[in-house]
Amino acid sequence: MKRLAKPGLLLLLAALPILVWWALRMVPFDAVWQLLSELHPLGLLGLFLLDVVIVILFGSRSWITLRAFGSRVNALWLAAYRLSAFSISYFTPGQQFGGEPLQVFWLNRRHQVTGTTALTTVALDKLFEVLSNFTFLLAGIVIVLRAGVFDGRGPVDPRAAAWLAGLLLLPVIYLLAIWAGRMPLSGLLGRLPRLRRLAASVATAEQQAADLLQRKPATITWLGLASGLTWVLMVAEYWLMVRLFGVELTLVQTILALTAARLAFLTPLPGGLGALEAGQVLAMQSIGLDPALGISVSLLIRARDLVFALTGMGIGARLSAQAKHLSVSSAPAD
């Protein structure tokens, strides 16, 4: 409620109807309905199964970290906890944060993972998620800015390739800085007065990452690989979504449109409401496609997110009603 009372957010919420109207005013709804009616059940089933794999991968970073600390929790439970946390983050204003304390609670209450280990696990998971998201969005923005040169239909422009290679090296450089005892992200955030509280939390996560990197460098490598694989599958998922509507995008076009979708979720609106639809209309127009395709893809994304968010709410309600504690096996840290 305090977030909702902030003038900036109130202004943004007031502008939401205008944003939705702008996104929909140029789209013929009969064209949207035609696209949606052509969706094949088998194609939707394949998309759903791919999404399930991605959800399980979202929990893989926590699974890797817990194993490094000598605790083994079933990966499916971790995916379930991630879904319950997602349901909180999705329906509340903000940049997709808010459900992390619930993940810490489930690990501690249901698996007897110590509070420190649970907090470290969730903090590292969020740190790698933010880092991989930042890298992907930067790469996507570079592609957007150089779209006239690097359009995906001809050979790759060397300058664009150099930019992308540099951006993909950012996570490696960042982790090397942490390993050397530097705290680059928290130091940067600490220079901004409004983000000093966030900087303190990020500093804790960076210190924990540094300790783990110095003691178990292989763990950090696996965390990075899990993050990279997740993004590869998310790009494939978006390509498949559009393919279900009978349109085949190039890799660069897919990244362009997916970047617009991910940027929408950074707005302080529940589920990026309005921003997603407007962004997808603009993305499809920028690559010369019907804006009706943008609205259709937005509806498919909304349906996916609502299914998983409601599933997460159901999981949270069911787990809250259970008093049973699950055992966790302990083994030497691997």
Helix 170-179 to helix 217-244 angle (10° resolution) is 160
State the sign of the Cα–Cα–Cα–Cα dihedral 74, 91, 259, 254.
Answer: positive
- Residue of 80, 123, 128 whose CA lies nearest to 101: 123
Is there a contact between 283 and 257 (Cβ–Cβ < 8 Å)? yes
Query: How far apart, in whole angstroms, are the C-alpha atoms of residue 297 and residue 281?
Result: 9
Task: Look at the pTM and tell me if it is higher than 0.85.
Answer: no
| Of the listed ranges 25-29, 75-79, 94-98, 153-157, the one predicted with least confidence | 153-157
- Is the pLDDT at 40 greater than 90, yes or no? no
Query: How far apart, in whole angstroms, are the C-alpha atoms of residue 298 and residue 301?
Result: 5
* Segment (H or E) for 159: helix 158-168
Q: What is the dihedral of CA 1, 312, 294, 4, to 10 degrees?
A: 0
Quick: pLDDT tens for 257-309. Answer: 898 888 877 776 666 777 788 888 888 888 888 888 888 898 899 899 899 99
250 versus 31: the higher-pLDDT residue is: 250
Interval 139-145 mean pLDDT: 72
Task: Report residue 329: phi and psi, to 5°.
Answer: -85, 140
In one-letter notation, the amino acid at residue 318 is R
Query: How far apart, in whole angstroms, are the C-alpha atoms of residue 234 and residue 50?
Result: 9
